Amino acid sequence: MKLLVIGATGPAGLEICRHALKKGYAVTALIRNIAKAVHFQRVEIAIGNVLDLASLKKALAHQDAVICSLGSAASGPFKKVFLLSEGTRNLVNAMQDQGVKRLICITGVGAGESKGHGPWYYNRLIQPLMLRGVYEDKTRQEEVVRHSGLFWTLVRPALLTNKPAKGLSAVRTLTELPGSRISTISRADVAAFCLQELADGHYLNQAPVITY
């Protein structure tokens, strides 16, 4: 399978590339700065930007699927953010143009109807004070994906850590949130979950929250 990774230079994107290579996928990483190519081995590099539709179309040529781990810096309580939704809208348009149908998009607990279902300190402090603009945009991003006409899965990780993977047997997948306990998850296990979902499509057209 030929896989394009968006947001490949971020911590989650690097894990996705590493896991995909282990599974034998042909991986292409979309990056803005050629200097960051030093982070990748056995990965094809596509220079581009999610805000540049032409570069997305070029990167998507001959691909079979996309995993989007596009991120955004903390926004604070007042700053508006549009990178995630506008970039994903361009990605969807480019995928439609190039006939690439499968999209896995990583957002986070707190987007859409999952808002308010994180730990109390996340719901009351971290998200409203540090990430309000980002998560408003993640909600818009999810709506773009839901209305894309693609074969999509929205993956909503719990609070992310850089701790070692526990393995997919330790990961809980939640599609019904009321009453659920949501804590943390390592980026390595998020990557493993995305690659498993790409293989089996168990959560096609769904938005599972993943946590330990």
pLDDT of residue 108: 97
pLDDT of residue 178: 85
Q: Which domain holds residue 178?
A: 2-211
Tell me if 132 sits within 8 A of 75, measured CB to CB.
yes
User: At 185, phi and psi to the nearest 5?
Assistant: -160, 145
Tell me if 53 sits within 8 A of 87, measured CB to CB.
no
CATH of the domain at 174: 3.40.50.720
pLDDT of residue 140: 98
pLDDT of residue 151: 98
pLDDT of residue 179: 82
**CA-to-CA distance for 197 and 102, rounded, in angstroms?**
11
Q: Name the token pair of 2.
A: 């030929």
**CA-to-CA distance for 186 and 181, rounded, in angstroms?**
16
Mapped onto helix, strand or coil, the DSSP state of residue 57 is helix
Minimal CA–CA distance to 41: which of 70, 12, 21?
21
Does the global pTM surpass 0.85? yes
How many domains would you assign to the chain? 1
Mean pLDDT by 10 residues, the chain (212 residues): 97 96 97 87 95 97 97 85 97 98 97 92 90 95 98 97 97 91 95 98 98 96
